[in-house]
Amino acid sequence: MSNIHKTILTWLAIVFLFFTTLFMIVSIEHKVNTATTTNTVSFSGEGKVLAKPDVAVVQLAIVTEADTSKIAQDENSEKSNRVISFLKNQGIEDKDIKTTSYNIYPQYTYPRFGEPVEPEITGYQVNQTVQVKIRDLGKVSGILDGVVGAGVNQVNSLSFEIDDPEELKNQAREMAIEDAKNKADGLKDQLGIKLGRIVNFSENTGGWPIPIYERALDSDGGFGGGGPSVPVGENEIVVNISITYQIK
């Protein structure tokens, strides 16, 4: 066999050995990673914190109809200014008054069935929704009753909330983690396993306030019987977590 053939065979052997070694390394690493992700066990935990709301959030609708769009908008602006002026007199700051929607709708009359006439615009409706945040909960009832006299047509929803819930969420999260770890400590002996490092963590937060929806106005444009009764109650912040451990 010539020296050239020997050299070629030698290089082929080296290349074959290189790729064989590389394949074994990749295969071993894959098995290690697979073992890390498949030999695991998860434990869930829940934390609950109860707290009194410190702010009320209400959606107020101001609705105006007129023959023309301009008249409807001008009259609606007058009502809106009266409502905002009333709110400010009650101690509501500018930052807590926000328009969340403003819509102009044409109003139509429709022909009777069978008449070949197109619908006709007879006027316009302006619908403005204002979100108000009330920080003095003792004023909620009086404000709800007073905004109607100032020009509000509908109180669409009212919810009592916690203005800064992050600290309470942290407390609930700590309780949930402790709950999951206690379960892990209690069950590892029953399951006959040894726990390694934590390889995954997930969280779900709930317990949002339930709004009180639209309250009908009476014939005098108020709620009847003075201001409405609006108990505040308590809000529950719930955090559910899941911790996944590697099994040694």
- How much is the pLDDT for 229? 76
Structure tokens at 105: 């709708």
Structure tokens at 244: 């996944």
- How much is the pLDDT for 223? 41
- How much is the pLDDT for 225? 44
- How much is the pLDDT for 118? 78
Side chain identity, residue 184: A
- Domain at 55-161, CATH homologous superfamily: Protein of unknown function (DUF541), domain 2 (3.30.70.2970)
Q: For 119-147, what is each residue's pLDDT tens digit? A: 889 999 999 999 999 999 999 999 999 99
Structure tokens at 14: 């080296």
The stretch 185-198 carries a mean pLDDT of: 86
- How much is the pLDDT for 90? 96
The stretch 167-195 carries a mean pLDDT of: 91
Asked if pLDDT for residue 210 goes beyond 60, the answer is no
In contact, 215 and 143? CB cutoff 8 Å? no
Q: For 25-81, what is each residue's pLDDT tens digit? A: 545 454 445 444 568 999 999 999 999 999 999 999 999 999 999 999 999 999 999
What is the rounded CA–CA span in Å between residue 61 and residue 147? 10
3-state secondary structure the chain: CCHHHHHHHHHHHHHHHHHHHHHHHHHHHHHHHHHHHHCEEEEEEEEEEEECCCEEEEEEEEEEEECCHHHHHHHHHHHHHHHHHHHHHCCCCHHHEEEEEEEEEEEEECCCCCCCCCCEEEEEEEEEEEEEEECCHHHHHHHHHHHHHHCCCEEEEEEEECCCCHHHHHHHHHHHHHHHHHHHHHHHHHHCCCEEEEEEEEEEEECCCCCEEEECCCCCCCCCCCCCCCCCCCEEEEEEEEEEEEEC
**pLDDT band of 246, cuts 50, 70, 90:** very high
Pick the CATH number of 41-50+167-206+241-247 from 3.30.110.170, 3.10.200.10, 3.40.50.300, 3.30.70.260: 3.30.110.170
